A and B are shown apart, each in its own frame.
Chain A
Amino acid sequence: MMPVLTWVVSALLADDLLALNRATGILRRRNLPVGAVSVGPGGRPGSLRLTCIVSSDRAAADRLASALRKMTEVREVSVYAEGEGTCREHALVRVRVSPAQLSAILDVISLYEATILNETPQELLLEASGSAPLMVSFIRALEPFGIFDVARSVTPLPPQQAPLDTAGAPRASVAAPRIGTAVPA
């Protein structure tokens, strides 16, 4: 029995909604436990990078990669252990606030280097980023105050990449926008 670990399967595919639909269909059909999916411009003109994180043995992750490689719109696929690449989470948290708790919340914000995006007398909208364990810790630290809503997303980058041809691609597109899952608190 091969050990179950967390793998990142990263595919560069044609920037086309049909290709994206086909690729996500493969994720669904392979019936693997997908922990996160992110999609964004792939750094090359006309390309998207689809990245998914799966908890499985290596062979299952490789089979997913093989299935993706069969798509004509897929240009390259890489598989690597989560720790081998760089993986960052982004979290948005809407948290209850009261005058009595403001000081304590500001301590948490300072500790996790979070940013206040919006504030009302009743709630704060906070933004933070970092490793997955750090974001889990951040959210747990806010739980005692009362969380209204959480949205998290993951942006992984493969461990080694050929220099990207970013000509024609907006600079911001290299740092891919993310699709995450809104998790009601």
Chain B
Amino acid sequence: MTEFLSGAHILCRLLEEQGVDLLFGYPGGAIMPFYHALPESPGLRHILVRHEQAAAHAADGYARASGRPGVCVATSGPGATNLVTGLATAQMDSSPVVAITGQVPRAMIGRDAFQETDVIGITLPITKHSVLVDDITELPAKVREAFRIATEGRPGPVLIDIPKDVQNQKMEWSEERPGQATRPAGNPSPGPRGEESIRAAARLINEARRPLLMLGHGVILSRAYAEVQALADKTGIPVITTLLGISCFPESHPLHLGMPGMHGEVHVNRAIQHADLIIGIGLRFDDRVTGNTAGFAPQARIIHVDLDPSEIGKNVPVAVAIMGDARVVTGRLAEAVTPRDCDDWREEIQGFVHARHESYRGDMAPETILAAIREGSGAGCTVVADVGQHQMWVAKLYGYQEQNSHISSGGLGTMGFAVPAAMGVHFARPTRPVWAISGDGGFQMNMQEIATMVQERIPVKMAIFNNGYLGMVRQWQQFFHGRRYSATPIWSPDYVKLAEAYGIAGYRVEHARQIDEAVSRAIREPGPAVVEFMIEQEANVFPMIPPGGSLSEPIESAPAAAPVP
């Protein structure tokens, strides 16, 4: 049947065609035609956030948890600019977010019209792609292209800017000839050159005496869980998971070592420094992983598996590069290597293990809190960590077993990410528990989203690690800036009363004996709940590689006399 529809109506049809059933957004002047059409598409559920940044983070959380593109919507001007942090977060962590923004009418573009911003220009460096729809006739192709680009290859955010008059334009639309829903391209075969590289990599793996597997976010993006485990099991190679690779490999597995890098465990970093071969799969050797690259893994040759050719050799020199999907390549590698074990090497690494030095006033240790959350929530729980000290504790101490159950802002390090992203995770996994774990700084950046959770009945549990400081910055000030705590003490409202004001349950935990009870009561709540944990004010995250230092130079205790820069 052929209909004569507006651009806004056609946009709704296109979103349905692409399999979208959920949008996070906030209406405004330039996107009103779309919101006018939206109720006529009951298959599109809209979640009204309280700030557009939260819409982008929620779409990102949804995308990471579901593997499908997350969609956010905003108006022109401030609505669009508020998306920026969320889009940059998605870009840095390769998350397929599609952002739809209204724009002033075409005739007004370039005239500094009310709520006009050049959002395409603003977001050029922080999106995988962006398009301005100049005419309604371009709308179907550009929307389909946006979804294809967002999901194809290395995923990333795409922005579609649609002038208001294009949303109001009309054209014929035929339901009988809908376009194909965009699906990510199948896993590409490595090709002849890839096969040659796989054989070269297998030879290096067979010959190595001290090999390590370093697994990154690409393993989760390509769902290569079984393949990396097969490779590890067949070779006995110890496994390291980067911050965004956490939960791609069960931490109870005897080959799992932990997280590398700036706050990685000492034995993990020492293993890297002693390794003669590193097989990096789906990671980009970020500076938080390598420390000073000049001193990174000095004895190791590196095999780098990545879908994105621009990552190969970007940060570290590579002996063998295999460009391709982590799942396909790792599967082929697992077939090509000779069965072996690395028992001597694993024993050597065990000799590197240090007892932890952290001490906490009272008994509110992060381990205790995280163990209560893990045991109380059971299998299937997803933890969305914010950014800061608690993020490192969550990364290192939670003990992830479930695939893709740890979500955090890694590349951009976006404080305020956890609460809205957890909303998106809930919609991707509606029957499974979701915790947003934040510090008192990050929580206050997006705590307005409690209202969204209440209105939309989103039962995310929120944990706040409250130490009265912007803890990670304070730690750097303690270690590297003469203990001058400039602008890091942070006041918080009474979170229990705040929760009550929103009509939800809130708990404050000041002693370890209260942890289990508070956590289990929060979990039993049918809706969202807040649990505030009053932790040690000046607790530090150890070990720590100083900025610019190599992985061989960990700080394992607070400096006795803090240096003054």
Contact = CB atoms under 8 A, between A and B. Distances in A.
B124 A70 contact: no
A69 B310 contact: yes
Given A18-B120, A18-B132, A29 B125 contact: yes
A21 interface: yes
A181 interface: no
22 contacts: A18-B120, A18-B130, A21-B121, A21-B124, A22-B124, A25-B124, A25-B125, A29-B125, A59-B313, A62-B313, A63-B313, A63-B314, A66-B309, A66-B310, A67-B310, A69-B309, A69-B310, A70-B128, A70-B308, A70-B310, A72-B129, A72-B149
A84 B129 CA distance: 33
A69 B312 CA distance: 14
Contact of B310 (A18, A22, A25, A63): A63
Closest 3 CB pairs of A and B: A66-B310, A66-B309, A67-B310
Interface of B: 120-121, 124-125, 128-130, 132, 149, 308-310, 312-314
A75 to B, nearest CB: 15
Contacts of A25: 124-125
A115 to B, nearest CB: 39
A8 B120 CA distance: 28
B1 to A, nearest CB: 33
Interface string A13-42: 000001001100100010000000000000
Q: Size band of the A side of the interface? A: 10 to 19
Nearest to A2: B317
Nearest to B153: A70
Nearest to B308: A70
Interface in A61-96: 62-63, 66-67, 69-70, 72
Contacts of B124: 21-22, 25
Contacts of A63: 310, 313-314
A63 B311 CA distance: 8
Contacts of A67: 310
Contacts of B314: 63
Given A18-B132, A21-B124, 10 more contacts: A22-B124, A25-B125, A62-B313, A63-B310, A63-B314, A66-B310, A67-B310, A70-B308, A70-B310, A72-B149
Contacts of B132: 18
A18 B122 CA distance: 12
Contacts, number: 25
Contacts of A69: 309-310
A38 B310 CA distance: 23
A96 to B, nearest CB: 42
A67 B128 CA distance: 11
Nearest to B149: A72
A59 B316 CA distance: 11
A63 B314 CA distance: 7
Interface of A: 18, 21-22, 25, 29, 59, 62-63, 66-67, 69-70, 72
A157 B121 CA distance: 30
A138 to B, nearest CB: 38
A21 B124 CA distance: 8
A173 B284 CA distance: 41
A26 B145 CA distance: 21
A55 to B, nearest CB: 19
Nearest to A22: B124
A35 to B, nearest CB: 22
A64 to B, nearest CB: 9
A62 B284 CA distance: 17
A29 B120 CA distance: 17
A50 to B, nearest CB: 15
B435 to A, nearest CB: 35
Nearest to A65: B310
Which one of A29, A62, A70 has the highest number of Cβ atoms from chain B below 10 Å of its Cβ? Answer: A70
A22 B132 CA distance: 13
Contacts of B125: 25, 29
Contacts of B310: 63, 66-67, 69-70
Nearest to B152: A72
Most buried by B among A29, A66, A67, A69: A66
Nearest to A68: B310
Nearest to B125: A25
Indicate the member of B121, B149, B309, B312 with the most A CB atoms within 10 Å: B309
A11 to B, nearest CB: 14
A18 B133 CA distance: 12
B325 to A, nearest CB: 16
B126 to A, nearest CB: 10
A179 to B, nearest CB: 19
Which of A59, A67, A72 neighbours the largest number of chain B CB atoms within 10 Å of its CB? A72
A29 B314 CA distance: 14
A76 B99 CA distance: 28
Contacts of A29: 125
Contacts of B309: 66, 69
A67 B308 CA distance: 9
Nearest to B317: A59
Nearest to B148: A72
Nearest to A71: B129
Contacts of A66: 309-310, 312
A72 B128 CA distance: 9
A70 B308 CA distance: 8
B135 to A, nearest CB: 15
B305 to A, nearest CB: 16
Contacts of B308: 70
B236 to A, nearest CB: 34
A50 B313 CA distance: 24
Contacts of A70: 128, 308, 310
B155 to A, nearest CB: 12
Nearest to A62: B313
A154 to B, nearest CB: 25
Contacts of A72: 129, 149
Contacts of B313: 59, 62-63
Nearest to B311: A66
Contacts of B130: 18
A29 B92 CA distance: 14
A29 B313 CA distance: 17
B77 to A, nearest CB: 20
Contacts of A22: 124
Contacts of B149: 72
Contacts of A59: 313
A165 B402 CA distance: 55
A115 B313 CA distance: 48
A54 to B, nearest CB: 16
B158 to A, nearest CB: 10
A185 B148 CA distance: 51
B321 to A, nearest CB: 11
A18 B131 CA distance: 9
